[in-house]
Amino acid sequence: MSSRKSPGLLSIAPMLACTDRHFRYLARIISRHIFLYSEMIVTGALLHGDSDKLLAHHPSERPVAMQLGGSDPKQLAVCAEMVEEAGYNEVNLNIGCPSEKVLQGRFGACLLAEPDLVAECVAAMVENVSIPVTVKTRIGIDNDDSYERLAGFIDSVSAAGCNLFIVHARKAWLNGLSPKQNREVPPLKYDTVYRVKQDFPDLDIVINGGITTLEQAKAHLESVNGVMMGREIYQNPYILAGVDSGFYEDYTTTLTRIEVLDTYIGYVQDRLSEGYRFNSMARHLLGLFHGVNGARAWRRYLSDNIHRAGVDEKLLQIAVDKIR
């Protein structure tokens, strides 16, 4: 297994119903370098569902990682191999999702309580692929949130071959809070993530949780190897226009919002010919003009019309007149 080193790395968090292939392509139009993650895909869906569709992505998305949900080492090993063969650059194991659905399926945040099982899962994946195997985790669950428990988890899982941990700086409540509340209610403890980096200097540690500006991201990079941002980027994707120059010293001219839209329209045309639904692609554009005059009219027009039967990319050309 090869290790992915991440100094200066900025990435987009895996978000259910958000970071599908269409949004990832939109993000890549704006930033050439940000590291992308898929939505979490459970092993059962890959093994028994439409794996070709679940693994589909545009080559320009790379570097891109697939996040898996599961707790069966053999199934995860097989799925990791499928991910690698599909051309992804990394496979990530979800140990952070706190929803009741994942709890019932015995994966996600509840696995923080089973470091030996997680280590077994990671070891099985590492054995089966040459791309990096990484883990995304919380700092704790329920009242079991001591630093010693987190450090023991990372120690066990890193020994199995994981060299990069994405740490959401909140614990998760497995009962009583919705996934949305779990992103907002438990207090952020960035110092805990910083301490992990100090105690495990040979590991790459990426911090996640509550980071809403590129300036905040840069400040975190003084203490960790990388930063992962989520909802803010999805709601305001053009924030990515400052990534390449600000984090990767790439000063190539950044596309304007209109140029981004024009490029994405070409992508939509291609995907429509393959049978993808227009609204599944257009919905990711709602925040493209965030903060610009006419943004509210843009959002309203799209929201009211993208689900209509028979609409296609021409609707986007009409909608942009709300901005012009």
pLDDT tens readout for residues 264-273:
999 999 999 9
- Residue 140 CA, distance from chain mean position: 20
Q: Which residues have a catalytic role annotated?
A: 97
pLDDT at 99: 67
What would the pLDDT profile of 89-99 be if each residue is shown by its tens digit? Answer: 999 999 988 76
What would the pLDDT profile of 183-238 be if each residue is shown by its tens digit? Answer: 777 889 999 999 999 999 999 999 999 999 999 999 999 999 999 999 999 999 99
CA count, 13 A, side-chain hemisphere, 58: 19
Global pTM? Answer: 0.94
pLDDT at 97: 81
Q: 3-state SS string over the chain?
A: CCCCCCCCEEEECCCCCCCCHHHHHHHHHHCCCCEEEEEEEEHHHHHHCCHHHHHCCCHHHCCEEEEEECCCHHHHHHHHHHHHHCCCCEEEEEECCCCHHHHHCCCHHHHHHCHHHHHHHHHHHHHHCCCCEEEEEECCECCECCHHHHHHHHHHHHHCCCCEEEEECCCECCCCCCHHHHCCCCCCCHHHHHHHHHHCCCCEEEEECCCCCHHHHHHHCCCCCEEEECHHHHHCHHHHHHHHHHHHCCCCCCCCHHHHHHHHHHHHHHHHCCCCCHHHHHHHHCCCCCCCCCHHHHHHHHHHHCCCCCCCCHHHHHHHHHCC
Residue of 200, 173, 197 whose CA lies nearest to 187: 173
- CB of 55 within 8 A of CB of 82? yes
Residue of 194, 195, 182, 270 whose CA lies nearest to 227: 194
**Token pair belonging to 271:** 């995907």
Query: Per this entry, what is the length of the chain?
Result: 324
Mean pLDDT of the chain: 93
Does 7 score more than 90 pLDDT? no
Residue of 261, 260, 168, 250 whose CA lies nearest to 209: 168
What would the pLDDT profile of 22-78 be if each residue is shown by its tens digit? Answer: 999 999 999 999 999 999 999 999 999 999 999 999 999 999 999 999 999 999 999
